[in-house]
């Protein structure tokens, strides 16, 4: 497992992706939804939805800021994934 992790870490670094906790690289392979809350994490007790950026065929799509136009089921699944996502 360690050799595979080292190979994966080097491949990530070649693409300028650095992981501060290399042991979480294996878990990261199973993540399909990531939510970022760069501002407010330490000062607010909640998460405000700015918008949704989806990916199709490994390419990011334009941000959707009007979340009311999204299918509710997909939005709830994404929020559930944020709540349960392991920390990297």
Distance CA 46, CA 88 (A): 20
Query: Which listed residue (32, 37, 48, 66) is catalytic?
Result: 37
Active-site residue, 57 included: no
CA torsion 59-82-88-46 (nearest 10°) is 120
Residue 59: strand pairing partners: 56
CA–CA gap between residue 88 and residue 82 (Å, rounded): 13
Q: Please give the positions annotated as active site.
A: 37
């Amino acid at each position: 497992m360690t050799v595979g992790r080292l190979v994966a870490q080097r491949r990530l670094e070649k693409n300028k992706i650095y992981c501060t906790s290399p042991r979480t690289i294996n878990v990261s392979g199973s993540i399909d939804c990531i939510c970022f809350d760069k501002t407010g994490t330490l000062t607010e007790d909640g998460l405000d939805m700015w918008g949704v950026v989806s990916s199709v065929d490994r390419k990011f799509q334009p941000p959707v800021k009007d979340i009311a136009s999204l299918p509710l089921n997909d939005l709830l699944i994404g929020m559930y994934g944020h709540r349960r996502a392991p920390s990297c």
